[in-house]
Structure 1
Amino acid sequence: MHTVEVSGLRIGYQRAGQGPPLVLLHGAYEDSRVWRQQLEGLSREFTVIAWDAPGCGLSDDPPPDFTGRQLGDALAGFLRDVAPRKPHVLGLSWGSGVALELYRGHPHMVASLVLASAYAGWAGSLPPEEVDRRYAQILAELDQPPEQFIPVWMPTLFTERADPAVVDEFSAIMADFHPAGMRALLSASGRADYRDVLPTISVPTLLLYGERDVRSPLAVARDMHRQIPGAQLTVIPDVGHLAAAETPHAFNAEVRRFLHSIGD
């Protein structure tokens, strides 16, 4: 692990390999450890950089009044320090919103986007009642012991075919979350809406989804595809929300194919 200071916050990250920079943005309740299979599988061709978002992993917790814009600015500052060459940016689930927040404020910093299991923010992709339900669920969970609620998440993240060892690995990572950090991030981006950003995206974009994703289902994927000019949509068969972990070889192959197709 490495650390760098950005806007007064210590940011932790992992780095592996050589080649064009590929920056990985994890989902909620997660940190850079969820990218183990990508740090291993893509580092022969790319400099793979996986950050711990503020409030996650080894990174400092942001202040309670942290905003989505500040989150995007923090990522921009991080990229200036660790990836001075314009990187490819891959965001997973909540991390896809962070990627869109970065693009909203700093579009010139991105070579391409890979939005995996993505939303245009919860409010940009889900009905208002579902946004309210998810927001209230996480808010309630922050006052509960992880062993009480993390098992409830697993069937929404993986299919029944997932390797139990991978499910256990993710459960342990998620249980290691920062309550104060998650509370700040929920406040900053839990009701984010990036529908205004999607039509402005002018860099090559891959939308990468699992066929059996119940958290960001294919209706969300198709809506994103309609709104982003020239975006490619790829669906990995018979896999859930965390395709990067459940079927890493297929996930990595699609990322590799896309990046090579646009030129590194």
Structure 2
Amino acid sequence: MNHATPLLLLPGLMNDARIWNPLTTAIAGERTVHVAPTHLHDRVAESARDAIAAMPAGAFAVAGFSLGGYVAQEVCRQAGSRIAGLGLLDTGARADTEDAKQVRQRMIQAVEGAEGAATATFGQLAQGFAARIVHASRLQDRDLLNLLFDMASTVGSQGFVRQQRAAMDRADTRDLLPRVHVPTLVVCGREDQITPFSLSQEMASLLPDAELVAVAEAGHMSILEQPAAVVAALVRWLGRVDGAATCRADSMSSAAVGPDQPFV
């Protein structure tokens, strides 16, 4: 019988399930894995609600990349004691600044331009992201760039708009993180321009049981730019999650106590 902890994975902005392919390929058959979309709602709380509902009963681990990291933290807020582990990749805990909200609003306005122009505008916008989201050494990697553009096309212009609105309205979660007493992994590309490494350092400092991993020669798309390093960190984290879950189950059995109350 497979006793590995079920895993919920959450993609980032303009990403579909393929953002997690390096990990899901590496752990195929080892545990129940569900990749929940993050482009169907314009509120982080709604994406978190749907993601939780898709998981089997009981405890599970959750990992989110970029925008998915915001949703993962909200999953922790909503799911309480069901959370067995938390993974945060190239993301942050702070709410958007007013300047950041204005930038997002301008992108939304560009995508929602004149009728008939939106698709072309979105395609141009998606292609223009490359220089900001990958390390300079990967700007000629056509396979990587084509994957990024294809994922963006799958999410589509309206999915992109919903994601931007969700990010704009997200809550600051720095009050939540000190109460997340589960094995946690914080990963960030060393040259991430979107969510700089300092944000990962801040999250790791707030979390009670966090491993912080800086990925060399990687920008924002660390899991695709340096998959071996990121997957190794994620597999190590899942081992900690499974070990902690086993110890907790043994302790609860011997003490004959009920489950913990939610930590929020």
TM-score of the pair, normalised by structure 1: 0.79
Offset, 1:183: 2.8
> Cα deviation per residue 1:195-242 (whole Å; 9 max; x = unaligned)?
222222122111011111111111111111222223221111111111
User: Which residue in 2 is equivalent to 1:58?
Assistant: none
1:160 and 2:133 aligned: no
Aligned mate of 1:261, from 235, 240, 247 = 240
Aligned mate of 2:19, from 34, 38, 47 = 34
Larger relative contact order, structure 1 or 2 (CA cutoff 8 Å, min sep 6): 2
Where does structure 2 lack aligned partners over 5 or more consecutive residues?
244-264
User: Which residue in 1 is equivalent to 2:183?
Assistant: 204
Go from structure 1 to structure 2 and tell me whether the alpha carbon gap of 1:198 and 1:204 turns closer, same or farther (over 3 Å shift).
same
1:171 and 2:149 aligned: yes
For 1:96, give the aligned amino acid: G
Offset, 1:122: 4.1
User: Do 1:18 and 1:43's aligned partners in 2 also have CA atoms closer than 8 Å?
Assistant: no
Offset, 1:187: 2.8
Structure 2 counterpart SS, 1:234: strand
Aligned mate of 2:43, from 67, 80, 84 = 67
Percentage identity across aligned positions? 23
User: Do 2:39 and 2:155's aligned partners in 1 also have CA atoms closer than 8 Å?
Assistant: no
Greater per-residue helix proportion: 2
Go from structure 1 to structure 2 and tell me whether the alpha carbon gap of 1:259 and 1:22 turns closer, same or farther (over 3 Å shift).
same
1:110 and 2:83 aligned: yes
Q: How many residues align?
A: 233
Where does structure 1 lack aligned partners over 5 or more consecutive residues?
1-16, 56-61
Greater per-residue strand proportion: 1
Aligned mate of 1:149, from 92, 114, 125 = 125
Go from structure 1 to structure 2 and tell me whether the alpha carbon gap of 1:141 and 1:195 turns closer, same or farther (over 3 Å shift).
farther
User: Do 1:214 and 1:240's aligned partners in 2 also have CA atoms closer than 8 Å?
Assistant: yes
Which residues in structure 2 correspond to 1:91-110 (within 5 Å)?
91-110=64-83
CA distance in structure 2 between the aligned counterparts of 1:175 and 1:245, rounded to whole angstroms: 18
Offset, 1:139: 4.2
Structure 1 counterpart SS, 2:220: coil
1:130 and 2:78 aligned: no
User: Do 2:5 and 2:241's aligned partners in 1 also have CA atoms closer than 8 Å?
Assistant: no
For 1:140, give the aligned amino acid: A
- Which of structures 1 and 2 has the bigger CA Rg? 2
Go from structure 1 to structure 2 and tell me whether the alpha carbon gap of 1:135 and 1:202 turns closer, same or farther (over 3 Å shift).
farther
TM-score of the pair, normalised by structure 2: 0.79
CA distance in structure 1 between the aligned counterparts of 2:76 and 2:224, rounded to whole angstroms: 25
> Cα deviation per residue 1:89-147 (whole Å; 9 max; x = unaligned)?
11000000001111112122211000000111542xxx432343234324433443232
1:235 and 2:205 aligned: no
For 2:176, give the aligned amino acid: V
